[in-house]
């Protein structure tokens, strides 16, 4: 949470009237403590009470240093080190750091000031986050590094092996043998490129930096192109069935990202499913837009796993045996949501899994 936001939320007098949409500190997911000029607690929200085990009733009106006796990893009293009310009058905030309550509870703590015209402390705002969030982030980073290292090692080993062999023994191989080795090198280079593209997509999704370049997109035409590409790559034509139902509105979408969404869902159905892959495109019955369903006839997804499907590194019942980084469906969800849409997974009518996403018709992107 940034240093500027808490003062606006904490400074909530006069009270909102009935039906007001004004936010309350208790609506915030992070803990918040606000102290006044005299260092007395005037706001102690529900998240702060949950994280610390201290009730708001017992915190309000007391000196904030007694309510939150925080110390650092060396056991030093953090408030004595910080001296928030007696320190530099130019300070506006303190960056996040790990601090501890006397019982050992670990918290991620940031602080910000709201000052009067003379630079005195008018409000001192302390924001708290559960350190378990940091631990989950660190585990995710470790998983990402491990996955990337594993996925890169195999194709790079192959590329190195074949190129070294060709360089050392070029004249010993005939043209057909050279072609096979070069085709393998080319395929492995494509695999590395796909992995890097996926990592960049994950980074943009997490940072909220996806750029949308909208134009009119023919969704049924995009599906046909995806199927034609799979057939050209060697899949039997009768493996796919396409149904286009009703008349769609004019769909303003990012064609590259829409192709990526459809390609990933069809790839997932082919790799993890079985039988015929059915793609249905139809108008969204609930709002102006389109709905797309991709179904297979495989084992389906267990109900208990449905909530995990769109997380990073999910690979389904086949696990690592069926390859892939486990990032594809996470990226699909991010791309659908960037269009303002929603994606869900359920059991298909004939068994197997059905991924269904809806996207609004959108509007032209006039940004330059």
Say yes or no to pLDDT of 60 above 50: yes
Report pLDDT digits (tens) over 163-181: 999 999 999 999 999 999 9
Six token digits for residue 258: 């829409």
Contact yes or no for 254/339 (Cβ under 8 A): yes
**pLDDT at residue 115 above 50?**
yes
Could you give the CA distance from residue 197 to residue 193 in angstroms, rounded to a whole number?
Answer: 6
Contact (CB, 8 A) for 335 and 225: no
Alpha-carbon span 187 to 198, nearest angstrom: 17
Kindly indicate the confidence band of residue 313, based on its pLDDT and cuts at 50, 70 and 90.
low
Positive/negative CA dihedral, 101, 103, 104, 108: negative
The answer to whether 121 touches 84, Cβ cutoff 8 Å, is yes
Task: Render pLDDT for 219-262 as a digit per residue (tens, 0 to 9).
Answer: 999 999 999 999 988 899 999 999 999 999 999 999 999 999 99
Percent of the chain scored above 70 by pLDDT? Answer: 84
Contacts of 164 (CB under 8 A, 6+ apart): none
Query: What does the pLDDT read at residue 140?
Result: 67
Q: What is the CA radius of gyration of the chain?
A: 28
pLDDT grade, residue 2 (50/70/90)?
A: very low
Task: Please determine, for residue 215, whether its predicted confidence score (pLDDT) is greater than 90.
Answer: yes
**pLDDT at site 147:** 66
pLDDT exceeds 80 at position 22: no
How far lies 20's CA from each of 6, 12, 15, 16, in Å? 19, 12, 10, 6
Q: Which residue has the higher pLDDT, 368 or 237?
A: 237
pLDDT above 80 for 311: no
Q: Which residues contact 129 (CB under 8 A, 6 or more apart)?
A: 30, 31, 96, 107, 108, 109
Q: What are phi and psi of 299, to 5 degrees?
A: -80, -15
Q: Give the residue with greater pLDDT, 83 vs 154.
A: 83
Token representation of residue 163: 């190129």
pLDDT confidence tier of residue 200, bands split at 50, 70 and 90: confident
Per the model's pLDDT, the better-predicted residue between 44 and 349 turns out to be 44
Main-chain phi, psi angles of 92, to 5 degrees: -115, -25
What's the N-to-C CA distance of the chain in angstroms?
A: 30
- The pLDDT assigned to 11 comes to 38
What are the angstrom distances between the C-alpha of 235 and each of 39, 153, 241, 269, 293?
70, 28, 13, 13, 20
Four-CA torsion 165, 170, 175, 179, nearest 10 degrees: 30
* pLDDT on residue 15: 43
- Of the ranges 213-217, 288-292, 329-333, which one carries the lowest mean pLDDT score? 329-333
Identify whether the C-beta of residue 192 lies closer than 8 Å to the C-beta of residue 155. Answer: yes
What is the reported pLDDT for 118? 87
78-94 pLDDT, tens per residue? 999 888 998 888 888 88
Domains and CATH numbers, the chain: 5-131 (3.30.450.20), 134-207 (1.10.287.130), 215-360 (3.30.565.10)
Residue 35's DSSP bridge partners are 41, 124
Average per-residue pLDDT in the chain? 83
Q: Phi and psi dihedrals of 54, rounded to 5?
A: -105, 130
């Amino acid at each position: 949470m940034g240093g500027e936001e808490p003062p606006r939320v904490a400074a909530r007098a006069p009270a909102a009237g009935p039906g007001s949409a004004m936010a309350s500190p208790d609506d915030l997911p992070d803990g918040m403590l606000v102290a006044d000029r005299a260092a007395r607690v005037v706001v102690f929200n529900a998240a702060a009470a949950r994280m610390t085990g201290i009730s708001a009733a017992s915190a309000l009106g007391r000196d904030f240093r007694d309510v939150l006796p925080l110390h650092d990893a060396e056991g030093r009293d953090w408030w004595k080190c910080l001296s928030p009310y007696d320190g530099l009058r130019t300070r506006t905030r303190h960056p996040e750091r790990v601090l501890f309550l006397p019982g050992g509870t670990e918290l991620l703590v940031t602080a910000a000031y709201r000052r009067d015209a003379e630079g005195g402390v008018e409000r001192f705002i302390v924001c708290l986050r559960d350190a378990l969030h940091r631990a989950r982030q660190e585990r995710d980073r470790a998983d990402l590094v491990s996955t990337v290292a594993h996925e890169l090692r195999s194709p790079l080993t192959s590329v190195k092996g074949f190129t070294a062999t060709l360089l050392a023994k070029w004249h010993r191989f005939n043209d057909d043998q050279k072609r096979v080795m070069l085709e393998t090198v080319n395929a492995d280079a494509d695999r590395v490129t796909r992995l890097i593209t996926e990592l960049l997509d994950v980074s943009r999704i997490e940072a909220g930096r996806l750029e949308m370049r909208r134009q009119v997109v023919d969704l049924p035409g995009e599906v046909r192109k995806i199927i034609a590409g799979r057939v050209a790559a060697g899949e039997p034509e009768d493996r796919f069935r396409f149904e286009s139902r009703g008349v769609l509105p004019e769909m303003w979408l990012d064609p590259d990202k829409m192709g990526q969404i459809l390609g990933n869902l069809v790839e997932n159905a082919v790799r993890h499913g079985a039988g015929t892959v059915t793609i249905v495109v139809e108008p969204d019955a609930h709002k102006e837009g389109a709905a797309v369903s991709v179904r297979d006839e495989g084992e389906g997804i267990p109900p208990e796993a449905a909530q995990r499907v769109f997380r990073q590194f999910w690979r389904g019942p086949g696990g690592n045996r069926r390859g892939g980084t486990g990032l594809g469906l996470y990226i699909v969800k991010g791309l659908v949501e960037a269009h303002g849409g929603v994606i869900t997974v359920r059991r298909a009518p004939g068994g197997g899994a059905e991924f269904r996403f809806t996207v609004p018709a959108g509007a032209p992107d006039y940004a330059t």
